[in-house]
Amino acid sequence: MKISRIMLAQVKIPLPRPLRLGPVEIRTRDYVAVRIETDSGIGGDALGYPRGTPLVESISRVASGLIGTDPLLRRAPLHAFEEANATSRPFYSRAISLLDIALWDIAAKAAGLPLYRMLGGLRQSVPVTAVAGYYMDVRSIDEIADEVSLRIDEGYSRVKVMLKGDDPAYDLRYVRAVAERAPGQVAADAHWSWSSMTQALKFCNQIDDAELAFLEDPFVPQDVEFTAGLQSRLRTPIAAGEDVVDARSLGRLARGVSVLRVDATTCGGITGALTAMAAAHLGGCTVLPHVFAPLHVHLACAFPQVEGVEWIPHESGADPLSSLLLRPVIIESGHMLVSEEPGVGLDLSWDRIEDNAVQMVGL
């Protein structure tokens, strides 16, 4: 079996209205989709966020060395590229991640197994953390608190909300109001709101008794030491890692936080995620993967240190991922069921991808 063709697509899907996450404003959900085709007819898919990077161009450069190679020897060409581009390795991490995922998809399909069974298998469903509170600029605190209560009543084990980040007084009222609805089951995402330890502690000390499940991303991804230092000063669990682009940095972070936020589409694919999860196990923290639940549910169903998955309900209007999938995810009583179809779980609708593509590249 040899790789015969690689297709790339950059997709932009407009959101109903601009979405603010801390200092970041999002008007469209941008994705890059990858399909690797083989001469045997087996193909592999992957999907990720470009996060403002020229991801299609990066993948094109990495992928040019894959044509004609054996997809089951997936580490060989990607490792060779990393070795030849050691100084720019972080720049290519997202590209390598998506290619690695697509190659794992081929391997699992060739074996006739869903990824979680290929990795050993532990369970067939996991708890879901639902994300709530989007579009807070046009909603009241009570409305978002009611949404939190609704998700808990639906059986979700935990609900995560976003902080505004630029209005500490509002965020204090907000955190306390939503946390009171389900003590211990509400998490808050700061989305890199603080740039100094003093600034972070001024806010965090005031909510340290709110019984949050965790506080996520107090600092930008590269501030690993600041994040670990904040955890050492708080009772509230700190979660971080979703935008850390290499497994070694995630390993350092695993020794300083309570919840490691691994994203296989960012940190080196399935291969990088396995390394990060091993580091989390050795560091004594749990893992909650970052979105892309149809993929990450396979990791959660294979490893005990992964406590569940994160899911943005489609009706929130904040993440149209479901519209790009051939099969919907199945959630029952707040638990996501893993797909038994061979592969990594990202069965993409390429008709819908092409309908929403702003760039298509074939190699």
Residues 96 and 196 both lie in one domain: no
Tell me: pLDDT of 118 over 80: yes
Tell me: pLDDT of 173 over 70: yes
Q: H or E segment at 31?
A: strand 24-38
Band (pLDDT 50/70/90 cuts) for residue 363 is very high
Per-residue model confidence (pLDDT) at position 175: 98
Residues 166 and 310 both lie in one domain: yes
Residues 90 and 163 both lie in one domain: no
Per-residue model confidence (pLDDT) at position 200: 97
Q: What's the rounded mean pLDDT across residues 205-234?
A: 96
Domain count, the chain: 2
Tell whether 344 is covered by a domain. no
Tell me: pLDDT of 301 over 80: yes
Per-residue model confidence (pLDDT) at position 222: 85
Band (pLDDT 50/70/90 cuts) for residue 160 is very high
CB 348 within 8 A of CB 35: yes
Residues 8 and 101 both lie in one domain: yes
Residues 76 and 150 both lie in one domain: no
Tell whether 14 is covered by a domain. yes
| CATH value at residue 152 | 3.20.20.120
Tell me: pLDDT of 199 over 90: yes
Tell whether 343 is covered by a domain. no
Q: DSSP secondary structure string, 203-234? A: HHHHHTTS--S-EE-SS-TT-HHHHHHHHHH-
Q: What's the rounded mean pLDDT across residues 331-343?
A: 98
List, for residues 201-218, the tens digit of each pLDDT value: 999 999 999 999 999 999
How far apart CA 69 and CA 37 sit, in angstroms, is 11
Per-residue model confidence (pLDDT) at position 323: 94
Range of the domain at 201: 117-337
Tell me: pLDDT of 37 over 70: yes
Band (pLDDT 50/70/90 cuts) for residue 152 is very high
Per-residue model confidence (pLDDT) at position 165: 87
Tell me: pLDDT of 182 over 90: yes
| CATH value at residue 30 | 3.30.390.10
Residues 18 and 145 both lie in one domain: no
With b for 16 or more beta-carbon neighbours within 10 A and e for fewer, the 66-79 pattern comes to beebebeebeebbe
Residues 96 and 238 both lie in one domain: no
Per-residue model confidence (pLDDT) at position 98: 99
Residues 192 and 326 both lie in one domain: yes
In the numeric block, the tokens 């990202």 are attached to 346
Residues 200 and 281 both lie in one domain: yes
List, for residues 69-105, the tens digit of each pLDDT value: 999 999 999 999 999 998 888 899 999 999 999 999 9
Strand 43-48 versus strand 24-38 pairing type: antiparallel
List, for residues 270-300, the tens digit of each pLDDT value: 999 999 999 999 999 999 999 999 999 999 9
Question: What are the percentages of helix, strand and coil residues in the chain, rounded to 5?
Answer: 40, 25, 35
Per-residue model confidence (pLDDT) at position 21: 73
Band (pLDDT 50/70/90 cuts) for residue 247 is confident
Per-residue model confidence (pLDDT) at position 22: 65
Range with lowest mean pLDDT among 14-18, 42-46, 142-146, 168-172 = 14-18
Per-residue model confidence (pLDDT) at position 67: 97
Residues 59 and 178 both lie in one domain: no
Residues 70 and 190 both lie in one domain: no
Residues 314 and 356 both lie in one domain: no
CB 165 within 8 A of CB 171: yes
Q: How far are the Cα atoms of 167, 276, 294 from residue 260, in angstroms, in the given order?
A: 27, 9, 19
Q: What's the rounded mean pLDDT across residues 312-340?
A: 95
pLDDT averaged over every residue in the chain: 96
Tell me: pLDDT of 181 over 70: yes
